[in-house]
Structures are given as C-alpha cells and as structure tokens.
Amino acid sequence: MKTSTLITCFVVAGTAIAIGSYQLGTRHPAAMPGGDAPSASAMSDTKMDPKTGRQVLYWHDPMVPATKFDKPGKSPFMDMQLVPVYADEAAGEGVSVAAGVSQNLGIRTAIVRMADMQSRLEAVGVIAQNERGTEVVQSRVTGYIEKLQVRAVFDPVRKGQALATIYAPEWASALEEYLGIRRAQVGSALVDAARARLRLLSIPDDVVVRSEQSGTAQTRFTLTAPTSGVVAELGVRDGAMVSPGMTLFRISDLSTVWAMADVPEAVASQIRVGSGAEVQVTGLQDSIAGKLSAILPDVDPATRTLKARIELRNPGLMLKPGMFVRVVFKQSSTAQALVIPQEAVIATGKRNVVIVAVADGKYAPVEIKLGREIDTDVEVKSGLSEGQKVVASGQFLLDSEASLKSGLSRLNTGTPAVATAQVHTGSGKVVAVDKDEVTISHGPIASIQWGAMTMGFKAPKDGLPKDLKPGSQVTFEFSQQGDAYQLERITPAMGGVKP
C-alpha cells in the first residue's frame, strides 16, 4: 500500500513538472541543448578576442540584441552561438573596412573645403539678328518695278544705296495738273492746294522738284536703303507690280547682334538682367564680352528652357546669325561656402547622402542639404563641416561591403527617414494563444534566414481570429519591430485543428 502511494505521488509530481515546463517553453523560445548558456549580466571590463586581437564589449544573440552576455557560448534563445560586439564597432553607426579591403574597393576621399561661390552658369545658344536694327521698305504707290538694283538676299547695302526704280503711272495726271496751275500763276492758294494733293498721293519731294525743273511729270522714282546692313528679305523681282503697303525689302543692321541662350528654368533665377556674360564662338579665339539685356517671359514646353538675350557689338561683322555659341553668365558678387565634389553625393530621390570617413577605416553615412553647383563641385548648406573627409569614389562598393556586415543598413543617418519594415511569411502550428501574444511552432523561413523553431509573436494590431486556438495550422505574416516580432496577419489553414 505504501509503495503504490509513493508511486502515485511521483507520477503526480512528474506530471506537474511537465505541465509547468510546457507552459514556460510556450512563452519563451526554448534553450537548445548543447551546454549551459552564459549569464546575461553586464560586463565590468572589456575582454580581448584571441582570434582577432580586438576588444570585446559583450556577446549577444542577434535575434535578441537587447540581452547582453559576459562570455561566449550558445544562445539560450536560438540554436546558435552568441556573437561578439567589439569596442570599435560600438562607437556609433557606420562600418569598419580594413585597409586592404579599402584599397580593393578603390575608395578615394575628398576634403570638405571653403570655396568662392561666384555665380556661374553656362548655356548654349545661337547668334540672331538684332530686331531693333531691322528696317522695312514698303511701297506707298501702285506701280511696277522697272529696275532692281539689289537682286539677292543677304546682299550687303549701305545707307542711301539705290534698291529699285519704280514706275508709277498714277502720278502723271496729278503732276501735270500741279505744273499747269504753277505755270498759270493763278495764285499761291491754288498752287499750295495742288502741292498738298501730291503729298496725299505719297509723291516724294525730290520727284516734285525734278518735275518743276524739267517742266514734265516725272513718274519714276528710286527707293533707297534707310540703313546699312544686309538684305534679310527680298519680296519683288524686275517687272513685278507693287501696291501700297507691300513689303519690298527688309534690311537688318548687323553692327550689333543678339546671342540667344537657352537657360533651364530651374536655374534661370540665378542670373539677373544687367549682369555680365562672356560669349564663346566656335572659330574665334577670344570670347566676346556682353551684357544680359533680357530674359524672355516664355518657356519652351519641349525643352523647359527660357531665352536669355545678350546684346553684342559686331565689328567687322564676324558674328553671323545662326552661329552656335556658348554663354557664361557671371555675377560680380562672391561668397565663401562649403563645397564637395558632386561625385561624392548619393541621391536617393528624397534626400542626399555622403559617406564620411570618421576615422582610420571607419565610415558613416551623413544626410546633407545641397545648394548651388559650381563646375564639378556643389555647395553644402548643412550636414558637414570644413576639414571632414567624404568618400568621392567607391561609395557604392563601400555600401555593398557595409550591407554584408549590416553596418550602414541602407545608408541610415542620424535622422533617418522612416523605412517600411520587411514583411516575412511563414506557416506552422499554434502552440499557445494569449491576448497579446501567439506562440507558433513554425518551419524554416528563408527570407529572414531562420530555421524551424518555436517562438512568440506579438498579436496583430487588428486582433486575432476568433477561431484561433492551440493546435491550429496557420499561415502568417510578420515584421521586426525593434527587438520584437509583430504579426501583421495570421490565418488558420483549411482543415482547422490538426492532431
């Protein structure tokens, strides 16, 4: 009797211990066999790694980084060895790269320096006619071209040079009437009235004088050039009929020309009307100084550029309309500013980042704000200070090296933009369900490099399914939130609870 009672007590005690162990194991990942885990206590001093010779601050499980251990060993949380955290890695964010690796990556640095920020903008354009120096020659009478002295477009002409002789038969009757009244000596009033009629018919004074001198009506007159230049337009030929208002010639004065430069709308605000400009023409050794006279208020919808007009003197008519030019705009005022090479900037689309060399072999990302571009440099408005070193070449290879070591973590900065946590998918069996936590025994999850294990997950923010219970086969999605793992979705598999 005593023996059976003693056996019964042992069975009850063993059952209680088993139940307690099961409940404890469902709330926390079980320690894997293979030796005692080190104690999770703070280290009083650093230790030296005999393999690398580096100082070790502590050991931790990367899956549970908040818990620190004072000696190496197997993790009590996962089936893996603890990982050392070295003193030179805990100094801040960034990555350490050995000298040999740095050389293989082709890393080249540049010093953040102060430089003169003289506003300088280059643009391309063409030489165009100065439209303010263009004169139009029109006919004021009905007649015929009797003789054309200028016969081709772009022929040069001088002021006062004969362009064409026009025969105007309609003038004959008016001139004969005027000459008859003048010979009759009937009074000055009638003579003045007849002369006024000639003016209304646009008969030039020299034609009237020649008619008075010869005593016969002069119905032919010569058109002359009102200015020196080239014939930009020729609208008639010999024998052609002309009428009042008809354009016969257009003459352009090329003693001054315009350089029409295409300026991108994004940088047009950097130049001012009245500022100096240098125009460089292919084929001419020396640049030509000019002044920005106007920025035309019209944007080309195809190129998103504005026209900037620079007026230039043209001695010897060396500048021809249609020539390609390069225009350099300058401003007299200068200012000192921090600059770095443009090639050092990594543009992510939303921000600009540079890799700073903070110590020997140590690099860290820094977010910066940029200003104006000057040749191959760019102004830094904030984020850096004079004398710092930034990586100008090899920063993308350095980022790849850092990603392998989980150092830069996609170019995080001191004030990183909030990144979307990666969502992982798994399947398994529910072991225990609490209000705020679900313990799941799941299979391997390749996206996060996990093996099969039993561990707890925080319940989804929108709550758990009502039919979820221990033993349910589920598929689930989760993300890492700090040191914890948050369920985004959990769905019982078809078939419900399986034994």
Same domain as 493, residue 455: yes
- Asked if the structure places residue 307 within a domain, the reply is no
Domain end position, chosen among 235, 252, 269: 252
- Asked if the structure places residue 431 within a domain, the reply is yes
pLDDT at 266: 84
3-class secondary-structure state, position 104: helix
- Please give the tally of structural domains in the chain: 4
- Asked if the structure places residue 262 within a domain, the reply is no
**Which residues, other chains included, contact 20 with Cβ-Cβ below 8 Å and sequence gap of 6+?**
none
User: Tokens representing 471?
Assistant: 């033993």
- Asked if the structure places residue 216 within a domain, the reply is yes
CA 112-370-292 angle, to 5 degrees, is 110
The b/e string for 87-121 (b: 16+ C-beta within 10 A; e otherwise) is eebeeeebbbbeeeebeebebebbebeebebebeb
pLDDT at 361: 75
Same domain as 137, residue 79: no
pLDDT at 162: 94
Same domain as 223, residue 156: yes
- Asked if the structure places residue 412 within a domain, the reply is no
Domain end position, chosen among 234, 252, 270: 252
Cα(192)–Cα(7) distance, integer angstroms: 153
Same domain as 155, residue 68: no
Domain end position, chosen among 224, 252, 280: 252
- Asked if the structure places residue 290 within a domain, the reply is no
Same domain as 246, residue 137: yes
Which residues in the chain land under pLDDT 50?
A: 1-3, 5-35, 41-44, 404, 406-411, 413-419, 496-499
Same domain as 113, residue 71: no
pLDDT at 110: 92
Q: Phi and psi for 224 in degrees, rounded to 5?
A: -120, 160
Cα(22)–Cα(432) distance, integer angstroms: 10
Q: How far is CA 43 from CA 72, 81, 315, 322, 498, in A?
A: 12, 18, 85, 79, 47
What's the CATH code of the domain at 438?
A: 2.40.50.320
Same domain as 363, residue 433: no
Same domain as 237, residue 149: yes
- Asked if the structure places residue 296 within a domain, the reply is no
Same domain as 459, residue 440: yes
What's the CATH code of the domain at 218?
A: 2.40.50.100
Same domain as 73, residue 44: yes
Which residue range forms the structural domain that includes residue 155? 132-252
pLDDT at 53: 72
pLDDT at 410: 47
Same domain as 219, residue 142: yes
- Asked if the structure places residue 30 within a domain, the reply is yes
Same domain as 58, residue 139: no
- Phi-psi label, residue 81: left if phi above 0, alpha if psi -120 to 50, beta otherwise: beta
Contact assessment for residue 229 and residue 157, using Cβ atoms and an 8 Å cutoff: yes
